[in-house]
Structure 1
Amino acid sequence: MGDLFVVVSLRAKAGKEGTLRRDLKAIVDQSRKEEGNISYDLFIDRADPSRFVFIEHWASQEHQHKHHNEGPHIQFFHENGAQNVENTEFAYFLDRLE
């Protein structure tokens, strides 16, 4: 297996949309600098501003795993920003069909 694509949707708690948006945007630049990251983008749903969607492309599952479990900016978010997340609506880990 080679590249890994990740698509994750988070829903903000009511009234916490702005705070979560700020916190999620703060982790994008650091994530893009990580070894094995090919792209890392954050989107907001036009129809529902409480829904945030990450689309990530990693060189391998190992790189994504290290990012998610060891990245200091991700750990900081889990400890300080995750309380503004109502739920993770979905998380897909995808291989490209060629």
Structure 2
Amino acid sequence: MSSAVVLVSYRARPECTELARREIASLIAAVQAVEPDCGGITLLQDAGDPTRFMLIEHWPSREIFLGPHMQQPHIQSFIQGAGAFLEGPPEISFWHPVGA
């Protein structure tokens, strides 16, 4: 199985930036607590536009991210409530490490 780096970009509603940050951080904590396939998640906030957030996630494969991970109850719950604090759905892209 190959390694996948997943970039997930969110844009918060301007009036909900702090709420979005807290909700995303809470989601990360849940993923890392109960999903052993997750190899780590880094949360970044745009220095020039605080409504923009980026997650850098490490997974064994794209298939695990899109399959078992996306079906988790905490992911489904986040998706259902995200419209209250996010401008829209995230942009998700898949990357792989390049050996030297």
In the superposition, the TM-score normalised over structure 1's length comes to: 0.86
Could you list the per-position Cα deviations for residues 20-60 of structure 1 after superposition, in whole angstroms to 9, with x for gaps in the alignment?
11111111111123121111121111111100100000012
Where does structure 2 lack aligned partners over 5 or more consecutive residues? none
Give the letter for the 2:72 counterpart: G
Structure 1 residue 91 displacement after superposition: 2.1
Count of residues in correspondence between the two structures: 97
Aligned to 1:80: 81
Are the counterparts in 1 of residues 62 and 94 from structure 2 also a CA contact under 8 Å? no
Equivalent in 61, 66, 69 of residue 67 of structure 1: 69
In the superposition, the TM-score normalised over structure 2's length comes to: 0.85
Are the counterparts in 1 of residues 4 and 94 from structure 2 also a CA contact under 8 Å? yes
Structure 1 residue 83 displacement after superposition: 3.1
Are the counterparts in 1 of residues 11 and 52 from structure 2 also a CA contact under 8 Å? yes
Aligned pairs (5 A) from 1:1-98:
1-33=1-33, 34-65=35-66, 66-68=68-70, 70-88=71-89, 90-98=91-99
The 3-state SS of whatever aligns with 1:86 is coil
Please give the alpha-carbon distance, in whole angstroms, between the structure 1 residues aligned to 2:8 and 2:47. 16
Give the % identical residues: 30
Could you list the per-position Cα deviations for residues 1-36 of structure 1 after superposition, in whole angstroms to 9, with x for gaps in the alignment?
511110111111120111111111111111123121
Where does structure 1 lack aligned partners over 5 or more consecutive residues? none
- Change over 3 Å in CA distance of 1:82–1:41 after alignment to 2: farther
Please give the alpha-carbon distance, in whole angstroms, between the structure 2 residues aligned to 1:5 and 1:92. 8
Give the letter for the 2:16 counterpart: K
More strand by share: 1
Give the letter for the 2:80 counterpart: E
Please identify runs of 4+ aligned residues in structure 1 that moved more than 3 A: 87-90
